[in-house]
Amino acid sequence: MRKTFFIVMTIILISAMIVPVLDIDRGGGGKNDSENSANSASESSLEGYSLPLATIAPENCSLDSSYKEDWDLIVCESFNGSTDLWVGNSGGTTVALEDGEYKIENLDLSGRSDTTGYTVPILVGAASDAMISVTGSMDCIEGECAWGVFMRSKFDEIVYIFMIDDRGIFSLTGLFSEQESQELGNIQTENHEAIHPNEENTITAIAEGTQMMFYINGKLMAIHEASDSANPAFGLIVWGGQNSRAVNHFESVLARGN
């Protein structure tokens, strides 16, 4: 197998920009607004964090997944008392371990750089090919909220984002590989009976070569060809629209690489 890398350090990046993962008619802006927001989101940077050469994961991982079982285990987070993911406070966002979960709170509007919203990516790892499976839920207290994963991204640019919003609608957002201009926008957005709104859901994403596959609760939701198979970064992401407030709860994160 090719060398698998694991990110020990993670970074939280708060920006007052609207990711177009919720490009659904709520009486808001049109397509151009969404595309502009997507380009802003892609400017989120994960640079400055080194990759150790050794794979780091518990020898006795209590988590399991039927996806890519022959790949190397690189992340096993059940959040029982400790984590290698980022914890702390930044720009109105608080990230902490609490009661056996990884909690991301975006409640303090006064801490944001402006009132347009928040985008919080948490870098989990990097691998030539990767699978990440995350179980979580969200309390969307006010406004529009979403959570999910990013895949096939760079350390200076988040490229592909797959999220569930507060109404149980999923969206895949990112680069259209068929467009020479490499513009960001919505690739696929729809509702599905497999999604449990306001309850716990498991998102699984697989990037193998240029192919990306996204599942929710074991059901395949989307398949897309990435524009570049060399982009290795993946992680968690939460999003909120203007004046939104939410608490995201993550129960576990499992990642494998090849």
Angle among Cα 140, 144, 148 to the nearest 5 degrees reads 75
Look at 10-14, 81-85, 196-200, 229-233 and tell me which has the smallest mean pLDDT: 10-14
State how many domains the chain has: 1
pTM for the whole structure: 0.79
CB 159 within 8 A of CB 170: no
Q: How far apart are the C-alpha atoms of 69 and 72, rounded to whole Å?
A: 8
Tens digit of pLDDT for each residue in 187-201?
888 889 999 988 999
Among 224, 219, 57, CA closest to 127: 57
In sequence order, the β-bridge partners of residue 190 are 170
Look at 8-22, 107-121, 124-138, 219-233 and tell me which has the smallest mean pLDDT: 8-22
CATH number of the domain within which 30 lies: 2.60.120.560
| Tally of residues, the chain | 258
pLDDT exceeds cutoff 60 at 255:
yes
Tens digit of pLDDT for each residue in 200-229?
999 999 999 999 999 999 999 999 999 889
Which tops the pLDDT comparison, 92 or 162? 162
Tens digit of pLDDT for each residue in 168-186?
999 999 865 554 455 567 8
Question: Could you tell me what percent of the chain has a pLDDT over 70?
Answer: 72
Q: Which domain holds residue 215?
A: 5-257
